Every structure is written in C-alpha cells, then in structure tokens.
Structure 1
Amino acid sequence: MALVAHDAKKTELLDWAARHQEALRGCRLVATRTTGELLARRLGLRADLVASGPLGGDQQIGAMIVEERIALLVFFTDPLGTQPHESDVRALHRLAVVHDVPLASNPASADVLLPDACLRMAAPAPVEADAA
C-alpha cells in the first residue's frame, strides 16, 4: 500500500492513518520520504521510503504499480494548490487507473477502500491451472 500526501494534506493523512493504525501496522507500506518520516515519527508506522514526490517519488511508486507491488494507492491531493510536479501526479493517477489499482484521494474514499485492500494483501496469490 502506498501512502502519499501533498503538503497541505499531510495532517489529514496523518489523522486518517491514526484512526487506522492497527490495520496499517499489518500492511507493507510504501511512502514518499516526507510523508513516511511523519508517519514513523508521529505514529510509529514503518514504511519503505521512496524519494519525495517532486524528486521522483511519484514515479517510483508508479513503477511499483506497474510491477503489481501496490494493492492500494492512498494519495491525498491538494485540489486547490498548484504542484510543481503536477505532470508526475497525473502520471501516477493514470497508472493506478490503467493497472486497476484502487485510488483513494481523500479520507472518505480511503475508509471505504482500506478493508478490501487489507484482505487482498493477506490473501495468497491465486494458483493458475495448467492449460493442458
């Protein structure tokens, strides 16, 4: 599960993560650097860190989506602010859609998507039957 938040939404993501701390502790988390450091410092949640979004972190998470390593993208975006890396943000959203990865852009959608993502992450990978 990837956790990302624009600066104006980091507190909102931290509040959401605090409400779901127990569920998140059971998940493998990936986060952009600043967001991940805040999650660790304030909530004790451990995440694999990628670069900050403007420094390529969005693209790193996008690559993980392509590699089927992300079951849920929680990305609290700031719809009222301008982002210098807006093209990277759009590309990350596009990859989530193309690769059918659920995308939560606010606490309400994250609340709905989290339980299913936790179940999918805990389930064993399906075994493909031989075509013979």
Structure 2
Amino acid sequence: MKLTTDFDKLGFHDASIEKIKRQSESVILDIKGAFISKEHPGSGGQDWKVEEATLEILGVAEERATYWDDDKAAKDHPEPKFPLDEIMHAYFMDGVFLFEGFKQTEPWYEWFITANSFILEVKSASKLSS
C-alpha cells in the first residue's frame, strides 16, 4: 500500500523512527507503529495498524531541528541528523512537516521539514476491528 495524500488521516503517535536516510531532495524514514484511519481514501474503509513502513518526504527545501530543556525557548538540536526516535505528534501544514517527540526517552524535540509531498509505503499492516 502506497499513500500520497491526506497526511492528516495518518497517525504517528508512539511510532518509532528506526532509520533516517537523506537522498537528493528527500528524507526517508523507516518507521514502526503508525496508523491509517478508515477516513483515509487509500484505506479501503478500514483502520490499519502499521507495523513497518517507509515515509519518504519529497521536495525537501530545508530541515530544522530543535529541543526544549525549559519552557522559555527552543534551542538548536545537538544531533540534527537524527533529531528524534519516537514521534508523539506529526503534522503537515503550509508546506512544513512537523514531527514532535522524544530522543532516547528524553523530551522534547521538534523536527521541521519544509517539503512539498510524501509517500508512505506500508510494508506490513493489520486491520483493526471496529
């Protein structure tokens, strides 16, 4: 299953990022533990638990990674090549993918990727009963 639209109908809460690759103008994430809502046009009307998938973010123009160690302001990330390993929230708005979450169980990290599209290639998934 390959999905290329409706990022807002995909869930990445508690998904882990196993590997990050960068090629030309794309960032490729190997992910475990995503979710596809039955509201997504590519879901066949079913909710899906995604065990393994590749999320390729295309047309990447810029990346920025930050972390918070207080409640005053974000700081530059000390390891921007692998900014987080557990996603708590994921959004796509105004041409920016935003991933927020943890790195090695430590909160709070943000990863902003300015890009124009994505491909979620599902490698293994199971239907969730409703």
- TM-score for the superposition, normalised by structure 1: 0.23
Q: Select the structure that is richer in helix.
A: 1
Q: Select the structure that is richer in strand.
A: 2
